[in-house]
Structure formats: structure tokens, C-alpha cells
Chains A and B, each alone.
Chain A
Amino acid sequence: MSEVDVRGFRAESLDHRNQRNQRLFQLMFGLMTVVLIVPVVIIISLLVVRGGPALSWEFFTAYPAANMTAGGIFPALVGTLWLVAVALAVSLPLGVAAAIYLSEYAPDNLLTRLINLAIINLAGVPSIVHALFGLGAFVLFFEFGTSILAASLTLAIMTLPVVIVSTRETLQAVPQSFRVACWSLGATRWQTIRKVVLPNSLSGILTGIILEVSRTVGETAPIMFTGAVFFLPFLPQGVMDQTMAMSLHLYNVATQVTGVPESLPYGVALSLIGMVILLNSVSIAFRIHLRRIKKW
């Protein structure tokens, strides 16, 4: 009689041990994941509880008043939109173009590897260094002065690696067989990119935009020296104007001004996060739509 007949597939001690380990690790990974989301939940609920009462229609539409201790955030809100829009307008075409070159054209040689290394390093540069670079390059050397243009260019350079890397990855996720099929039908590289590679990469490029917007909205240091100011009683009229910004405004009401009611900084922080979520939800919605129609 074989062993199976005798035991009838019953668990042995080794099986019991394997089962125990399996349950243990599943539990551990689950716990780690829960731990991860705890801070997010705490931050958001704290902001909602403490900052919620400060929010009102007036809060979003009024100028700060009484030396920043009252009133709203309207000019900061508008200023951040300016900064994000101009930064995106610069970094998106530049970043996508660079990613296309690196993914579709660049030969695998020393220069390409150096460029890749530079991009990774650029991503690792602290934002205060970007700020000083922006001050030296855009404000002083190019004589843009402290302006939306200088601040947005600084933000654009800071976020370029994000756009490049996420776009390059999404381009490389397009199956090689599509490219070969295209080339074998007599398409040039550019025709292949335009007709097949790019249309199938849009959702990944949108991911890059999401990451960039989140970062651009939140950064404070790079815009402090280059274009954002403490208070302005009017809205910027063009890219050469200075502006208020949400992130800097939060920093100011939280640390630089005395006599601020407690709910005000929380309200600003809540609005800042809300703004990121709102801006991103546009691209997320678009991305969901793209995923639905993309099938291969």
C-alpha cells in the first residue's frame, strides 16, 4: 500500500508549521498596511475637525484681513493656480519630449546613461537648492525679477524628473511588438510614436501630471525667493507679477503671524489638500476613461 492510501492526504507536522507561518506573514503584511494608512487618516480627520469650521464661501473668495488674522485666502488660491499652470506649461512639453527621446530614439551609449543619471540626480536635489538656483538664474541672471515666471520655472525644473521618468516608463510599457509591426509597415519612428506609442501612453503621462501637480501645489521653498510674497492686495495680472500662494500662505499664518485664530491655518491646510485632490481628480477621471477604452 502506498503512503497516500494510509494517510489519506492528512496534514503532517510540517504542513501545520507551513500553515502557521503562512497565517503569520499574512497578518504581518496586513498590519503593516494598516499602519501605513493610519497617519493619513489622522492628518485628514484632524484637518477636517479643526479646519472645517473655518471654511466658508467667504473664506475662499475674500482677501486676508486684519494683518492675516482674519478674512480669506482668495489671492493665494488664484496665485497657486497661476504657478501650477505656468509650471505645467513649461515642464510638460519639455519633459514629455525628453522622455520620448530617451525611450524611442536614444541609443544605449555613454551619453544616454549620463543623461539618465542626471535626471535621477535632479530628482534628488533638495528643494531649497532649487530655490537658490531659481533665484540666481531666473530672478537675477535672466532678470525676470521675483515673478510668477521665475517661480514657475523653478518649480518646473524641480518637477521635470517626475514627468520624464513617469512618461518614459509608460512609453516603455507599450509592447515592442506594436513598434515592430509599425516599422515593418513602412512607418518612420515618428509616425510610429504619433499613431501608436503616444495614444497608448496618455494614461501614464497623466499619472506624471498628477504627481507633478501635487508636488507643485505643496512646495514652499522654491517659490519663497522667486515669486511668492507675504501679502498682495490684488491679483496677479500676468506672469511677470508677484503673487501669493497657498503653501507660503500656510507657512506664514502658521508660523510668522501672531494672533491668528487656531482654525485659520488648519482651514488653509485643508483647502490646500482639497485643491490637490480636486486638480488631480480631473486627470484621474480622464485616466479612468482612457483605461476603459484601452485594450490589448
Chain B
Amino acid sequence: MDSTTEYAIQTKDLNLWYGDFQALFDVDIEVKQGKITSLIGPSGCGKSTFLRSVNRITERLGYVRTEGKIEVMGHNVLDPEVELTQLRRAAGMVFQRPNPLPLSIRDNVLFAYRLKNGGKGSRADEDQVLEKALSEVLLWDQVKDRLGLRATRLSLEEQQKLCIARLLPVKPSVLLMDEPCSALDPEATRAVEELIWRLRGDYSILIVTHNMAQARRASDECIFMLMGKVVEHSKTVEMFVTPKHQETADYLEGRFG
């Protein structure tokens, strides 16, 4: 299959049910490589569900049924032969509440890396990976002297940056972010947004957000969802200036949601 496709994520006729409740209806979404795409819409519109179906973390619930096609870097991830652990490393996920593991900073950053390599590597190799990942998220200078500290004792901003950093050593192609700033104060939000903007280009990023201002200033493209359907997908500047649908305009102007 062709992995040099233009799209990092591409879905076709994606339908998803939680038990009897249908959460996604014929969702066709394309996320361009190297760009930041934000997913907006009112609570319960299916944007988080969509995000979670990309790395198939939805399946832990057991009663979820997915139909259609989800391609990540040109490979259908719903294929029964797909190895979930591989998929999840290729499509890294950042959660709403920073969720570092109750381990040291060092062990957090190297967690996925060690899983991928089947164990600990040499000290020199790990040190290098550690520094690179933490530098990429602008955290290295702040934590380099306390790498043995429990990650759960960092500030929320630092925790969230760490949660991004721990994805990087396994070289993901896609970063899925579920309201990554909603648990942070304005100052930390700005810092994490800047970081996400820095990662643009090297990674294809899909962000779910409730924050219109954030979608507007920190994304290339914008997808508006409503009731499990995609209403509009356009360049961010266009959507905020000249929305094509009345519902989009209403939502953006705060008339509902």
C-alpha cells in the first residue's frame, strides 16, 4: 500500500455505535499530513469518539461497533490483521487531563520506547532519546536535573508536555489530541499551544477542542461536527470568516453549543 499518501488520516463512511446508540454517521474526514486540523462542535457531537476510533482505543469498552474505513498513513486500521500496539504507537494520543504514569519522568518518556524495543536499551542510547524528546517539547531545561522525580509531581503544564514528549521516541506519524489544554490555566494553555504549533510539520496533528479561539489561532484546517455528522470541513481562516453552513455560523457565533 502507498504510505506516501497526502493524508495522514482518511476515513470513509465511518459509522460507530455504542451498543444501540449510533455516535458517528457516515463520517468522511481527511487530515492532511504535517498540518494541524481541529475538530470542533458541541458536547456529544462525536468529535472525541472520532478521535478515539482512530487509534481504536474505543474498543476497550467492549460494546463499541465500528463500520467503514479508517486509514492512517494509507493503511486501513480496521483490518483484522492490524496489530493494535503498533497502531497506537504510530498514532499517539494526548488526553484532556494530563495522565503521566506513576513512574519517574525518565521512565515515562521511555515507556513506549522500551515497549517497542522489547526492554531497556543501553544507558547512552536511552539518555539520548530522553534528551531529544524532552527538548522537542521544551521541557529538557526544566527537568534535566530531576529526571528521577515522579512525573505526577510536576505542574499540570509540565505533565501535559511530558505526555506529548513520551509519544515522540517511537516516531509517531499522527498525534491525536483530546482537548489537550482544557485542564490548564491560560498561561499553560498558551505554552502548550505554542508547543503544538512547533510540532506542526513533523507530525500530523488532529485536535479536538471546545475552545473556538484556540481552533482559530492554532490550526490549519477546521472540521465542524454536529450530531455525529461532519457539517463542514475547510481551511480555518475560511471557516471563521465565511462559514458555508448556517449551523457552522450559529455555532461559531455562540448561538448554541
Contacts and interface: CB of A to CB of B under 8 A. Distances in A.
Interface of A: 107-108, 177-178, 180-188, 191, 195-196, 199-200, 294-296
B92 to A, nearest CB: 7
Interface in B153-193: 153, 163, 166-167, 170
Contact of B166 (A185, A191, A294, A295): A185
B85 A177 contact: no
A177 B151 CA distance: 14
Nearest to B111: A185
Contact of A181 (B95, B116, B150): B95
B111 A295 contact: no
Contacts of B57: 180, 183-184
3 nearest A-B pairs in the assembled complex, by CB-CB distance: A186-B89, A186-B85, A185-B112
A120 to B, nearest CB: 24
Nearest to A108: B62
A186 B115 contact: yes
Nearest to A179: B60
Contacts of B153: 295
A177 B163 CA distance: 13
| Interface range, B side | 20 to 34
Nearest to B93: A184
A16 to B, nearest CB: 45
B102 A180 contact: no
Contacts of A296: 102, 152
B229 interface: no
Contact of A184 (B55, B86, B100, B150): B55
A296 B112 CA distance: 20
Contacts of B103: 195-196
Given A183-B60, A185-B166, A186-B116, A177 B88 contact: no
20 contacts: A107-B62, A177-B99, A180-B99, A181-B95, A181-B99, A182-B101, A182-B111, A183-B57, A183-B88, A184-B55, A185-B89, A185-B92, A185-B115, A186-B85, A186-B88, A186-B112, A186-B115, A195-B103, A196-B101, A296-B152
A294 B102 contact: yes
B102 A186 contact: no
B102 A187 contact: no
A181 B55 contact: no
B210 interface: no
A191 B152 contact: no
B97 interface: yes
Given A183-B60, A294-B102, 10 more contacts: A177-B99, A178-B99, A180-B60, A185-B115, A185-B166, A186-B115, A195-B103, A196-B101, A296-B102, A296-B152
A186 B97 CA distance: 19
Most A CB atoms within 10 A — which of B55, B101, B152, B167? B101
Contacts of B92: 184-185
A177 B95 contact: yes
B149 to A, nearest CB: 11
